[in-house]
Amino acid sequence: MDSSELSKKKYKNLVDEASPNSNVYRDCLKAFAVGGAICCIGQALNNLWVNLGASMDEAGAYTAIALVLSSVLLTGLGVYDKLGKHAGAGSFVPITGFANAMAAPAVEFKREGFIMGVGAKMFTVAGPVIVYGTLASIVVGLVYYILK
Partner 1 sequence: MDYVKAFAVGGLICVIGQIVLDKTKLTSARILVIFVVAGCVLGGLGVYEKLVEFAGAGASVPLPGFGNLLAKGVKKEIDENGFIGVLTGGFKSMAAGVAAAMLFSFLASLIFTAKEK
Scan residues 47-106 and list those touching partner 1 (CB under 8 A). 47, 60-61, 63-65, 67-69, 72-73, 75-78, 88-90, 92-99, 101-103, 106
Nearer to partner 1 by C-beta: 9 or 36?
36
User: Which candidate, 131, 62, 134, 69, places its Cα nearest to that of 102?
Assistant: 69
Nearest distance in Å: CB 121, partner 1: 10
Nearest distance in Å: CB 70, partner 1: 10
Nearer to partner 1 by C-beta: 55 or 78?
78
Nearest distance in Å: CB 11, partner 1: 25
CA distance 54 to 62: 9
Scanning residues 111 to 140, which ones bind partner 1 (CB under 8 A)? 111, 114, 118, 122, 124-126, 128-130, 132-134, 136-140
Instruction: For 53, list phi and psi in degrees, rounded to 5.
Output: 105, 10
Nearer to partner 1 by C-beta: 6 or 65?
65
CA distance 138 to 148: 15
CA distance 104 to 75: 6
Distances in Å between the Cα of 69 and the Cα atoms of 4, 31, 77, 96, 129 are 55, 21, 12, 9, 19
Nearer to partner 1 by C-beta: 6 or 142?
142
Nearest distance in Å: CB 54, partner 1: 13
Nearest distance in Å: CB 9, partner 1: 28
CA distance 92 to 98: 7
